[in-house]
Amino acid sequence: MAGFFYDIKNSKRHFTGVTGDRPSLSFLPFLMDNVAISDCCNGLILCWCVGAIGYRYVVYHQATRKLLVLPPSICSVGEARLGFDPIVSSHFHVFEYVEEDDCVIVEIYSSEIVAWIYKESE
């Protein structure tokens, strides 16, 4: 599958495939109405899902078909991005930016340490 995700103002994320294939999200243990694709990077797909356990980010590795439900982030705003370079490391990072008052908060999930790191601007 080859293609890209894009946003339309006030709309859900859309996918345009180069080969005509569309990604199937049937692997997710969530109702499809409660899933938003946040980002994709080098074969990983980042989703923001709502289920019985609340909001959670989920990372799916297309090649290995492994699914990882991340622990809850502190803010969980659903606006995160994914960083993954398999040439450099087998680990990925999820970046969530939150603006509060005069401060920008960045939460970073590291698959290496399996935890969220909280950073605040000065």
Longest dimension (CA), the chain: 46
Give the residue with greater pLDDT, 60 vs 74: 60
pLDDT band at 95 (very low <50, low <70, confident <90, very high): very high
pLDDT for 5: 62
- Where in 8-121 does DSSP place strands (E)? 13-17, 35-41, 44-51, 54-61, 66-69, 80-84, 92-100, 103-110, 115-120
Tell me the per-residue pLDDT of 12-37, one tens digit each, with 9 for 90 and over: 656 666 666 556 666 666 666 677 77
Residue 94 has pLDDT above 90, yes or no: yes
Structure tokens given for 24: 């199937």
In this predicted structure, which of 4-18, 65-79, 84-98 has the lowest mean pLDDT?
4-18
pLDDT for 24: 62
What is the average pLDDT value for the chain, to the nearest integer?
A: 78
